[in-house]
Structure 1
């Protein structure tokens, strides 16, 4: 969901703001980059190369290649300092997105660019250009992301969508602006997703291959709770933008929620490999430098989410082991990033031989270390080592780590540890034949997973499988077939077409 995407692109040792604007390693001006989709249009300029860079900047912006987009826009300004829309693009793309905010200093820089663009457009710009620049002015005052200036900008774009109903770019930019406005009253992310659907659906009527409109439409249908609505268009993105790792990844936001877990794993593995190639092209160490690329962590973790659900050992280890290596020695990271890194240990404990799992070094970060012990406990439970499982549980904090705040993700990180502690405790109870105790423990974990706010963090979910699987297993062990069937149905509500739950259903029916 969009809420969880706020931190998804950051590397383990960086903040989101740094991840958005990290410096390019490329020597000299950035070349025009193909394979990132579409998004540009003809603007007022007498410099063909400036036109090309403007269009490329918009393509890159819609592909969430944030720094490349900014660099392209600034190159367009260098090539034609009198190009109003080149300055507009620089200000637009240097501002907040649905994933990143910007500080007051950056907002002031953007205000000056927009003011210069307004003066230039007054002399020779088209009506559409003047309208877009005037709308963006609203964001340059208290508009660094989900604030009042962003709301004023979104409202101005709503007016432009009505004024220019046949211009796909306006409809797409309007949707993007609305997705970045602040939450208030009864408005939530589901309502926000529904609010932008008409703009994006109309944009795709005007241009069925608009990669910007398709990109935002996938996000909007996901948060609106209707991911199946965007299956057909989402599948077009890797074809339309084969070099844009984020757009190659985007179909997984649909695949995961309709039960196509293997497809979610596959597209993210492809996106990860694009990132590795990009790091090599930039002269970075492909094993470490790639983690500095925005959204690389997101692609890895989303791929792990799909691979673990699909029981794809090869992809899970291909994605998980580098994540373990990268995060193991980190000494500082946000709560969310620590927690998503746990997926690497989940994969290792599930698919590596037991001796290799137990040989993995403990990480230093507290949340990640707790999940490391949970993962080891799962491996030992599968091996039937009751004493070993108890020893790993003893290394986990029963009450989590530190404070629990919604705003810094520490609440959600601690809820992940709550689930892990209860699941591993339930494993012990099952191994000891205390099936009713096991059911109670698994039920507590499942209710955390399915409750608010945890269930809304779904990009992908922090907890990799539906714990209702385990409540069903406990019911079966208790001889309660009807109860087991009910728990399996609940598991399938949490994860559609979950292969394990479906297999359990078949076994119960038999």
Structure 2
């Protein structure tokens, strides 16, 4: 079973498949386990046989993954009180669904995890996968109660301390998501020191924790947290002599967003990341445009928008995610166009740009998790532009649509409150403004950031 454990743990996850060479090595290890288990308990032999199937055209994207899941499911039915088997079976169903970006068999995965949690509500493995499974199935809010317990159960495990932030982001608890990831990055730093690593960025999920903290801080207005995390990300990217993975580029892009939003002068002092980092250069241009927007310089915003571009060659490393990368660049250019028009007092032109950007965000980017690659709901900017154009009813409608996908977004709530006040509904406006203030942290004050030009 030690050989089984190693072979299972080195296999694919919902985030990463494994290649043919890795499969061959793990298939050999599973075969070794089978040889050692001859004459052993039936349960162990069946677990090992299931794992042997996993590494025959499996690895996260093949028929072997389904064979493994079916075998594990049969084991879960035959041993209905065994939480470990239930959790492994649920994970086995989730992996191919994640790599196909489908909801296939997620219902069964949730049933298995739900049974495990009913038997043991503080099972960390079950909670971890329940957060993932509910997020994948579009019902992430159902994990909120369990998310609140996970950090207490595993206070020294960086990834499990981070995991509640997935649920918190979905339900609009953005500052709680900041806290979880700030805690995780501190654990990463301690782990790196203990392992003798030069910095925590060598740990697999550290960049994920940094980006999540930064993205959540952008939503909650926590400038202090956003700048601490974004400074670290940008300094490391500048010092790196190697190519950045698409994932790291998206994380560094989020760091640029934070600097443009909360530290305009600091952002404008940031150097060009270089022509060999085309996606990052586009996001650098966007963040410079945001910085100029904070200063009220429409001409400079338009100048950055005109220079903001990324060719197909610039985005080749994104492979299957190239459409999303293209969408990010398109949205960035349109948002700057809208920002400039708002500064110039042309809300109708701004609304047209923001509307197109929101449509692209919905069609190409959606609610990409971990957190969303594009840092905020552009539709709230559309709502702000419509309000400035004298259309409070349309503004309120757009704000309400935004809040369905981005619940409790303080800036959207502030725009909605302004629209409701224009429409004569002072009670609703007071309630929504109070809700916005509860979710907002730090400087600048909510009223300033939610001003129509800055939404």
TM-score tier (shorter) = 0.7 to 0.9
Tell me by how many angstroms 1:192 deviates.
4.1
Q: How many residues align?
A: 418
Matched with 2:177 is: 264
Q: Any residues of structure 2 matched to 1:293-372 within 5 Å, and which?
A: 293-330=203-240, 332-352=243-263, 354-364=264-274, 365-372=277-284
Specify whether residues 111 and 191 from structure 1 end up closer, same or farther in structure 2 by C-alpha distance, changes over 3 A only.
Answer: closer
For the 8 Å contact 1:193–1:219, the answer to whether it is kept is: no
Please report how far the alpha carbon of residue 506 of structure 1 lies from its aligned counterpart in structure 2 after TM superposition.
1.4
CA deviation profile, 1:449-499 (whole Å, cap 9, x unmatched): 111x42152221011111011111111121011111111112212310100
CA offset digits 1:281-306 (Å, max 9, x no partner): 11122xxx311101111111111111
How far does residue 207 in structure 1 lie from its aligned partner after superposition? Answer: 2.0
1:209/1:240 contact within 8 Å kept:
yes
Task: Report the Cα offset of residue 397 of structure 1.
Answer: 1.3
16, 32, 49: which one pairs with 1:116?
Answer: 32
What residue in structure 2 maps to residue 179 of structure 1?
94
Per-residue displacement from partner, 1:299-340 (whole Å, max 9, x unpaired)? 111111111100001110111110111123545233343233
Contact kept in structure 2, 1:259 and 1:497, CA below 8 Å: yes
1:172-215 CA-to-partner distances (Å, cap 9, x unmatched) read: 0100111123689xx85334433310000001122222111110
For the 8 Å contact 2:87–2:126, the answer to whether it is kept is yes
Match of 1:393 among 305, 310, 313: 305
Partners of 1:298 and 1:322 lie apart in 2 by 13
Structure 2 Cα separation of the partners of residues 108 and 490 of structure 1: 49
Judge conservation of contact 2:279–2:310 (CA < 8 Å) in 1: no
> For residues 455-494 of structure 1, what are the structure 2 equivalents within 5 Å?
455-494=366-405
1:280 to 2:193 alignment? yes
Indicate yes or no: 2:356 matched with 1:440.
no
Relative distance call for 1:152 and 1:407 in structure 2 (3 A) is farther
Which residue pairs with 2:5 in the alignment?
Answer: 89
Is the Cα contact below 8 Å between 1:367 and 1:401 reproduced in 2? no
Change (3 A) 1:204 1:499: same
Question: Does the CA-based 8 Å contact 1:87-1:117 persist in structure 2?
Answer: yes
Instruction: Assess if the C-alpha contact under 8 Å between 1:228 and 1:254 holds in 2.
Output: yes
Inter-partner Cα distance in structure 1 for 2:122 and 2:324: 37
Structure 2 vs 1, CA of residues 271 and 403 (structure 1 numbering), >3 Å: closer, same or farther?
A: closer
Contact 1:336–1:410 (Cα < 8 Å) also in 2: no
Show the counterpart of 1:69. none
Counterpart CA distance in 1 for 2:95 and 2:315 is 29
Q: Tell me, yes or no, if structure 1 residue 238 matches structure 2 residue 151.
A: yes
Instruction: Return the alpha-carbon distance in structure 2 between the equivalents of residues 433 and 490 of structure 1.
Output: 25
Distance of aligned partners of 1:400 and 1:485 in 2 relative to their CA distance in 1, 3 Å threshold: farther
Structure 1 residue runs without a partner (length 5+)? 1-84
Q: Would you say the 8 A contact 2:278–2:314 is kept in 1?
A: no
Shift in CA distance, 399/104, structure 1 to aligned 2, threshold 3 Å: closer
Q: Distance in 2 between matches of 1:298 and 1:236?
A: 21
Relative distance call for 1:276 and 1:320 in structure 2 (3 A) is same
CA-CA distance at 1:349 after TM superposition: 1.7
User: 1:284·1:290 contact (CA, 8 Å) conserved in 2?
Assistant: yes
The answer to whether the aligner puts 1:141 opposite 2:53 as a matched pair is no
Deviating 4+ runs (over 4 angstroms):
398-407
Are 1:335 and 1:410, in contact at CA under 8 Å, matched by a contact in 2? no
CA RMSD, Structure 1 to Structure 2 (Å):
2.0
1:497 aligns with 2:415: no
**How much does 1:407 deviate?**
4.7
Query: Which whole-Å deviations, capped at 9, do the CAs of 1:83-111 have from their partners, x for residues lacking one?
Result: xx001111111211111222222212222
Q: Is the 8 A contact 1:401 1:414 kept in 2?
A: no
SS of aligned partner of 1:341: helix
> What is the match of residue 420 of structure 1?
332
Larger deviation, residues 456-465 vs 333-342:
333-342
**CA 199–500 in structure 1, closer or farther in 2 if over 3 Å, else same:** same
2:85 to 170, 175, 178: 170
**CA 1:387–1:313 in structure 2 vs 1: closer, same or farther (change >3 Å)?**
same
Judged with a 3 Å threshold, the aligned counterparts in structure 2 of structure 1 residues 120 and 112 are, in CA distance, closer, same or farther, namely: same
Residue range with higher mean Cα deviation, 187-196 or 168-177: 187-196
User: Any gaps of 5 or more consecutive residues in structure 2?
Assistant: 422-455
1:212 aligned partner: 125
Contact kept, 8 Å, 1:191 with 1:224, in 2: the verdict is no
Match of 1:35 in 2: none
Instruction: Pick from 128, 148, 152 the counterpart of residue 43 of structure 2.
Output: 128
Conserved 8 A contact 2:117-2:127: yes
